[in-house]
Amino acid sequence: MFKKIVVAFDGSHHAEATVLTACNLAEKYDANLHVVHVPESKEQAMAVGASAVATRPHRKVCA
Partner residues linked to 6 by β-bridges: 34
Q: How many domains does the chain have?
A: 1
Domain containing residue 9: 1-63
E strand map for the chain? 4-9, 32-37
CA dihedral 51, 52, 53, 56 (to 10 degrees): 170
- Please classify residue 28 by burial: count the beta carbons closer than 10 Å to its beta carbon, then call 0-12 exposed, 13-18 middle and 19+ buried: exposed
Predicted confidence band of residue 38 (pLDDT cuts 50, 70, 90): confident
Note the pLDDT tens digit of each residue in 4-34: 999 998 888 899 999 999 999 999 999 999 9
Q: Which pTM does this prediction carry? A: 0.61
Q: Are strands 4-9 and 32-37 parallel, antiparallel or unpaired?
A: parallel
Contact predicate 28/1, CB 8 Å: no
